[in-house]
A and B are shown apart, each in its own frame.
Chain A
């Protein structure tokens, strides 16, 4: 306490400062999958799998993933049926412009 007014950063006093010594340090990191990247937010199935419609019709090979310029991605089938109603990205409401199509 008493050193708070006198000590300055230009004069480091390592001995005084070691009031506490770190004996053990458990680093904790939290991580999670970025769900919106992994899952199609429309049908809620994984993007690596086919969409619900294609799984139903057993034509899973044709089901591709499409990325918009906003970087949101959906099954092409899922976003296609939504685009009949609106041209906005369902997640960020920006205009939907296709950036790329792939898997």
Chain B
């Protein structure tokens, strides 16, 4: 059955394939177009460089009027990522716009990696280290970067 949300997602997927943004990729799961798997590569010149972080994106039939639920499957250490992988990002909550597509969502999360918002901490240790002890922060981040290669 092809609903508006599903057709919009087909378009998002087509756009992602034809015009792939650097450092992110994503595709719907085989049996359900409302559930996607995605990968964000850690941006260069950041502590996240070389990491391959997996995420799941769950859409509803309300898409694009409601944002999808996005979470990291790979372990993450970031001021705005909860222990369960949930992401605290304004455009995925109160600043969502129905003009966003999967490619915009993934690139926003990618830029969040190096530009955390310490005002809405989801991981208080990460937020504290980010502000007060960069060296320890980067050490913790490189540990999860290494971990991201392992669970293939």
Contacts and interface: CB of A to CB of B under 8 A. Distances in A.
B99 interface: yes
Interface stretch (A12-20, A26-34, A84-92): A84-92
A56 B64 contact: no
Interface of B: 2-4, 7-8, 11, 15, 64-66, 97-99, 101
Contacts, number: 34
B65 A56 contact: no
Contact of B65 (A44, A51, A85, A91): A85
Contact of B4 (A43, A90, A93): A43
Nearest to A44: B11
A44 B11 CA distance: 8
A23 B7 CA distance: 54
Given A42-B64, A44-B11, A85-B66, A56 B3 contact: yes
A: interface residue count bin: 10 to 19
A56 B7 CA distance: 9
Contact of A90 (B3, B7, B99, B101): B99
Contacts of A42: 64, 98-99
Most interface-central of B15, B64, B65, B99 (chain A CB within 10 A): B99
A78 B98 contact: yes
Nearest to B1: A56
